[in-house]
A and B are shown apart, each in its own frame.
Chain A
């Protein structure tokens, strides 16, 4: 799949959550679509390091495009989950106020939510808050309850979208870093740094942090994406601090604040910080910020303990003004800009897929529905979610389902093999796809087994095994 040189109707640059949603949406039509990404796997950019929240639709006023897309996108997730089988749960969101002036802010959020049409939004007393989330600091004064808010595993969402898109004919080119583009006739020629090139009539720029650079390559609008870094801590699934709901503080003017998030897969995420950084490759964590996360999170949920920390990481948000920038380029033809998709981008992303489809249609792209479009991807069994009796039955057909590779997250050899066969051949790709290495031992026990499975399944040599592509090689030599 990595040797594309064909002609396409649409080329989508960036296989993050936006690109993946757009690709999948377009895969329902009689179109040749190619999705390209500069990384070794999909979802390796902005989409892998965020809070994984399906927002409640009360943070932004509806004069913003992002608020409208947020509300619309949030409502699409139930159906998407049915079709795509990714971890998603509407656990609800509480916003906790600890001061009187925070209660006034809560009231404003409530009114904004009502105005936006948020279903079930509710102002809460202290008692109601503690009933909804018993682990809250009892000093809470009151707050907001949004039952429709939820949590999702963002990379798994992207993987499923891309899998569905590919099933319906979309081609995926990874390690494809767009370095040059030229328009001749009614076609773009898009070149990658490694010399590969493709032709496409329409191009969608969904390049996340690097949308400004891609725009420049195409000679389109000039703008500057700035990276805002968010650092997180991940807590063990057996942590006593695991909440029932996503817990928000009252937001500030610059961010939604630091949250406590009970992930769909049972761990707890706390964070993020929000700091502008100059370097878009800088996903380093810092001691001061991490300490800040712990103390902020503890102020809301006192049971949070640093002993439960299993890892920390940082993600970068692409910021550009105070709204999404989604429109056809006014400077060059047949070029759609999907830029500045920061929070609530994940929530809005299915609606962005719709929106961009409509933009392209208005720009002349012919949309004819495929008769054989299949929105469903096959469900894959996860040993973690099965009873011993079910695993025994599975193992009768494929014994690898009873060979446990990752003991912390209960991942079998068969699931690792599935991941490799689905195209995830880096350690991080397999981690995001299967959760192996994501638990409390952080790969201490299973990394070598996973490397050996990758080598066995792909024929790659030890020197080609990477953490996440490029020069992130795991092994230097053989004895």
Chain B
């Protein structure tokens, strides 16, 4: 078996993996990307709509364009790229870690590295995860699979569509299906507010007159062989109103009911996960509980914009380079999610540096404020014009913010929204 050694190996060649690898290369570390698809770019390749890149490239790009621009940055460097290669096993030993990569073009190779960057992205939650009862016919697709079938493979999965869940992929697919001549009959959302961006509600639903049923649960999928309809039940005051259930006839159901970080390899490597994000618990350097194993992008927590994925991954790449050179964070402060905050990532901050923290709100609110509390004392308040769960928030924790951490045995930073 062929064996190769790098300073660091990045698992996953999407936006996060490419950004991290490029930083590692720029910092003088040898590094490889292992990507299971034939081409770099990850899921961006099938996201043919625009709306990407406003932060990273200062222009509005489609997914394929964003991916290709990122790929060009990597191709011009010393980063070794293995595409069509799946990492099947990780041995995260303390000093030298090994990864076994399977590929039709070279069989199995073993890559050794002092550091690993997890950048595997996320997967879609499916029918089983949200437990929709009923028949099990053909025609039930996750929105991302349908997107792949339409945009890359050129197939039409169905003609009369109901989208379950109002996540952005579902909304984008509602427009895409309409634009290929299909009829989208409804988008059904269990929550009282849409999960996707307002922009997508307007341009993907209102433009096509697609009704959005908020506070409605899909209680049954109907159809023995192929989908024939879905039963929808309104929720009032938290209770299902079965007597008000109705059926929407359709031949296709697209599910857009959330994304989950893909951490099966991380679990194999012994990485501790945060049950709130389903991603690894990481320190201020974005390093997981296993020394030398780092994580960034959607495998760490699901981001709303790819531009933020890249921003975080660049930082991860730079941190890995620092770590490889022997730098270790000192006396980190614990960061915890305070009132109205679903999660914060990373879980630790380094008081001797400036830190960037991402978080998600549990509530929808205009004119909100974000509080940074150190050891239960408010050190800074930031105004936020609008917060909602589907939009990721970020806050810079500066050295000044964390000044009072020193001298405290177990400094704790709490981020709160109000």
Contacts and interface: CB of A to CB of B under 8 A. Distances in A.
A392 B107 contact: yes
A467 to B, nearest CB: 4
A386 to B, nearest CB: 10
Contacts of A400: 104
28 contacts: A238-B264, A284-B133, A284-B134, A284-B135, A285-B134, A290-B133, A312-B128, A383-B102, A388-B1, A388-B100, A392-B108, A395-B104, A395-B107, A399-B105, A403-B103, A403-B104, A404-B88, A441-B124, A445-B123, A448-B148, A468-B138, A472-B225, A474-B157, A475-B149, A477-B155, A477-B156, A479-B155, A479-B180
B288 interface: no
Interface string A356-400: 000000000000000000000000000100001101100110011
Interface string A321-358: 00000000000000000000000000000000000000
A264 interface: no
B145 A312 contact: no
Interface string A287-326: 1001000000000000000100111110000000000000
Contacts of B156: 475-479
B154 A478 contact: yes
A462 B219 CA distance: 31
Task: Assign chain A's interface to a size class.
Answer: 35 or more
B313 to A, nearest CB: 21
Interface of B: 1, 36, 84, 86, 88-89, 100, 102-108, 110, 123-124, 126-129, 131, 133-139, 141-142, 144-145, 148-150, 152-159, 180, 219-220, 224-226, 251-252, 264, 267
Contacts of B36: 404, 407
Contacts, number: 148
A310 B86 CA distance: 23
A311 B128 contact: yes
A281 interface: yes
B86 A404 contact: yes
Nearest to A445: B123
A447 interface: yes
Given A444-B123, A444-B145, A462-B155, 18 more contacts: A238-B264, A283-B135, A284-B136, A309-B128, A388-B100, A389-B108, A392-B108, A395-B102, A442-B127, A442-B128, A444-B124, A445-B123, A448-B153, A466-B138, A474-B138, A475-B157, A478-B155, A479-B150
A475 B288 CA distance: 42
Contacts of A477: 155-156, 159
Interface string A436-459: 000011111101100010000000
Contact of B137 (A443, A472, A475, A478): A472
A473 interface: yes
B88 A410 contact: yes
Contacts of B157: 474-476
Contacts of B108: 388-389, 391-392, 395, 402
A174 B102 CA distance: 36
Contacts of B149: 448, 475
Nearest to A407: B86
A408 interface: yes
A71 B131 CA distance: 37
A448 B145 contact: yes
A157 to B, nearest CB: 22
B131 A309 contact: yes
A138 interface: no
A462 B155 CA distance: 8
A310 B128 contact: yes
A61 to B, nearest CB: 37
A388 B88 contact: yes
